[in-house]
Amino acid sequence: DAGVIQSPRHEVTEMGQEVTLRCKPISGHNSLFWYRQTMMRGLELLIYFNNNVPIDDSGMPEDRFSAKMPNASFSTLKIQPSEPRDSAVYFCASRAGSTDTQYFGPGTRLTVL
């Protein structure tokens, strides 16, 4: 069975450009999480969805970041406009309703020049 799928795996863009990261959770999982990892701050939760509804977005850094989950099998994290300090690895994770165990995707390494 496929795990969490993220695309692209690597993204290099210039400051000011829009960036869209994509995630496909494990089939049947009803919670989805977006994390960001940097050397300075470690692994941080940005936002999570339950049954496609955003539950907690308190970790979203600022208005430049937005996340959507239009259906149970797809989510996006968008940064507009991007800045060099957004450079990080962004992970998506999903979870089944009956457990707290989260399963992580391989991540998207974002570099903003």
Partner 1 sequence: DAKTTQPPSMDCAEGRAANLPCNHSTISGNEYVYWYRQIHSQGPQYIIHGLKNNETNEMASLIITEDRKSSTLILPHATLRDTAVYYCIAQRYGQNFVFGPGTRLSVLP
Cβ proximity to partner 1, 81 vs 104, nearer residue: 104
Residues between 87 and 106 with contacts to partner 1, criterion CB under 8 A: 91, 93, 100-106
Q: State the residue for tokens 């994770």.
A: 93
CB of 44 to partner 1, least distance (A): 8
Separation of alpha carbons 47 and 98, rounded Å: 20
Span from 11-19, 39-47, 68-76, 79-87 in contact with partner 1 (CB under 8 A): 39-47
Task: Look up residue 34 and give its amino acid.
Answer: W
Cβ proximity to partner 1, 74 vs 104, nearer residue: 104
Q: Which of 21, 29, 48, 67 binds partner 1 (CB under 8 A)?
A: 48
Q: Which of 43, 80, 85, 113 binds partner 1 (CB under 8 A)?
A: 43
C-alpha closest to that of 2 among 26, 23, 28: 26
Alpha helices in 3-93 (DSSP H): none
Count CB atoms within 10 A of the CB of residue 47: 22
3-class DSSP state for residue 84?
helix
Contact in structure between 87 and 112 (CB atoms under 8 Å)? yes
Contact flag: residue 42 with partner 1 (CB under 8 A): yes
Q: Which of 25, 29, 32, 33 binds partner 1 (CB under 8 A)?
A: 33
Tell me which residues touch partner 1 (CB under 8 A): 4, 33, 42-45, 48, 56, 91, 93, 100-107
